[in-house]
Amino acid sequence: MTHPLSRRNFLVAALAVPVAAAATAAPALAVDQHDQFTAASTKYGVPASVLAAISYGQTRWEDHAGVPSTSLGYGPMHLVDGAAAQAQRDAAAGKHAAGVIDTLGQAATLTGLSKDELRTDTAANIMGAAAVVAAAQREAGHAVGAHTDPATWYVAIASASGFSAAASQRGFADDVISDLRAGASKTTSGVQLKLQATKVGSVTSQRAVLTKRMDTAAKQAAPTDPIDAPKGLPVEWVPAPYEQLSSDPGNYGNHDLGNRPVAPALNTIVIHDTECSYDEALKLVQMPTYLAWNYTVRSSDGTIAQHLEAKDVGWHAGNWYVNAHSIGVEHEGYATAGPTWFTEAMYRKSARLISYLCKKYDIPVDRAHIIGHDQVPATTTGGIKSMHWDPGPFWDWEHYFELLGAPLVRGTRGISRFSAGDMIRILPGFEGNEQIVTGCDDNNPPICVVDGPQPAANFVALHQQPDDSSPLVADIGLHPSGAPSGTGPSDVGARAAAGEDYVVADVDGDWTAIWYLGQKSWFHNPAKSPTARLLKKGMKATAKTDVVVYGRAYPESSAYPDPSWDQGVSAFSYTWGAGQEYVVADTNVPTDYYKAWYYDINTPNDHIDIVGKTKYYLVYFGHRVMYVQADDVTLT
């Protein structure tokens, strides 16, 4: 069975402007004047600007053609099928799990429209949401009216959000009011969608209502929980167990104790998805025999569970060196994204958490230090094929970095034609970036995508020649036979992802070649619709002779006090050819091995960071980041 991955913007579709023409003319559309918002505003007395801002905060004006989010929200207003979501949560928890709000059911009752219409028809979806918001406004004791002050709708916006936690409701209402005051915009398929800045009165008194709800809930939380998150973000402490599993002192789970960021240093955030529900993920992370990560983010409202303190080391990345230096953050959802999509609430709450962590621990905010699990290298050549590939080709990196306050376009400029030796950043956009992804993943049962072009993806495909019909480039780590990479969801071997930086190897018309996995690799980069931009500044490395790359920056043998501790350095089978150039993402790479072999942190000569003298650089070498020894290359 296949599941459609269909991201569709109903506002752009309503313009009936061909994509090619739109890309040239770049028409603009005032979102709150769209007839579907104004019709709902007239009927239910909710300002059109409020409806448009709610839609932006829920889905960024996407309708997803009837496909639900991971939290079973539908349409541009993200009406939640609470009955189905409740059943899903109960099944995962093994008991009744309170807290799902049925905004889809409410909308059906208030409008008389069927749930199917509300799920799949954008006009009905907006009408249903307007009815729910208007009912919440009346319940709060405030007047309705298409021209009322948006500030008076604050509590109604929160109550009708579909979020169950008071902190999440207040956060959503704050975001909507902020978007109204500042305005909001996005460009999709060459069309600019824009919500003009709106005059909004004070929300202080209404915000106090939600703050009181939050204070009541906060009294139930343990004040000693070691929550590490920005103030106001909804985070609960769900600790991962650290337990010895037998009489063997080396048999324990499900993480390691540490003293980070003192040693080892913290320099990376790894973005994961759960491949299961939020409740199931919380069950797993609390199992002593499983493995732990630092945080889990819920799809429905962005609520976050923290499992480890930053000082301790989670077993999440499949690479011990990366584990030792990273914080792992799981997001409720699926990398294949076939049946569902990642929610805006989750993107926003996650970005606030990551911004805080990066600032606190001095982690660079770029695509070499905030990486997907799909960018984590293996430790040895033999492990490459078993490495994970979440959050997958449908995680919107460009939007995520906008939310982080570090848009990936920063530090770049557009030019009509690149030259060999230029350093560039892959920036294809997300919505409207058609890329081929086919087949199924390895879940049980498997999740599949519709074969053919996907309407939204975070990468550009790399070919062996400047021609769509030529084979994809080979990844000898994934395909040791030398066969071309494939288009399956997990085959990352020929993908240059948004925000990754490379060096131009050649140019041929609308095609650009980059150095990638030791070979010249071509992607489509037409001047009228570019998929990459020039880096204004950066650093690149050139191989002096044919050299190798590594998946970890481990010390040389002489650095280990005991030879039996030596981990080796294990070069990959990839070859960085003489004269080939790659962008250097970090010249300050820790050369170390965190030895943590036993349960008791007081074990002599254990839980120690062994530091070497060999110098490494972090480079964008393929889809995954890798390490090269400094003595093997020359920096420019």
Write out pLDDT tens, residues 556-577: 999 999 999 999 999 999 999 9
* Residue 326: band (very low, low, confident or very high) from pLDDT cuts 50, 70, 90: very high
**Calpha distance 161→180 (Å, rounded):** 16
DSSP secondary-structure letter at 335? S
Give span(s): CATH 1.10.530, the chain. 10-218
**Calpha distance 381→403 (Å, rounded):** 35
| Two tokens, residue 161 | 């959000």
* Residue 17: band (very low, low, confident or very high) from pLDDT cuts 50, 70, 90: very low
For position 16, what pLDDT does the model report? 46
Residues 6+ apart with CB under 8 A from 138: 144
Which of these ranges, 115-119, 447-451, 486-490, has the smallest mean pLDDT?
447-451
CA-CA distances (angstroms) from residue 624 to 6, 155, 389, 541, 571? 27, 45, 10, 17, 15
Write out pLDDT tens, residues 143-170: 999 999 999 999 999 999 999 888 899 9
Query: Cβ(257)–Cβ(263) under 8 Å?
Result: no
CATH, domain 235-635, list 3.40.80.10, 1.10.3720.10, 3.50.50.60, 2.102.10.10: 3.40.80.10
For position 14, what pLDDT does the model report? 64
| Residue 220 φ then ψ, to 5° | -80, -10
* Residue 97: band (very low, low, confident or very high) from pLDDT cuts 50, 70, 90: low
Give span(s): CATH 3.40.80.10, the chain. 235-635
For position 270, what pLDDT does the model report? 98
Query: Cβ(363)–Cβ(357) under 8 Å?
Result: yes
Q: Sign of the CA dihedral 385, 390, 396, 402?
A: negative
pLDDT exceeds 70 at position 341: yes
- CATH fold of 10-218 reads Lysozyme (1.10.530)
pLDDT exceeds 70 at position 335: yes
Secondary structure element (H or E) that encloses residue 541, with its range: strand 540-543
What is the mean predicted confidence (pLDDT) over 362-388?
97
For position 216, what pLDDT does the model report? 65
Write out pLDDT tens, residues 460-479: 999 999 999 999 999 999 99
Write out pLDDT tens, residues 49-82: 999 999 999 999 999 988 999 999 999 999 999 9
**Calpha distance 599→250 (Å, rounded):** 6
CA-CA distances (angstroms) from residue 297 to 194, 353, 517? 29, 10, 33
pLDDT exceeds 80 at position 451: no
User: Position of tokens 């799990």?
Assistant: 97
Nearest residue to 10 (alpha-carbon basis) of 41, 43, 34: 34
What is the mean predicted confidence (pLDDT) over 507-518?
98
Classify burial at 401, counting beta carbons within 10 Å of its beta carbon; exposed 0-12, middle 13-18, buried 19 or more.
buried
Nearest residue to 490 (alpha-carbon basis) of 329, 374, 318: 374
What string of DSSP letters covers 399-455? HHHHHTT--TTTTEE--S---TT-EEEE---SEEEEEE--EE-SSSS--EE-SSEEE
Write out pLDDT tens, residues 285-310: 999 999 999 999 999 999 999 999 99
Secondary structure element (H or E) that encloses residue 332, with its range: none
pLDDT exceeds 80 at position 5: no
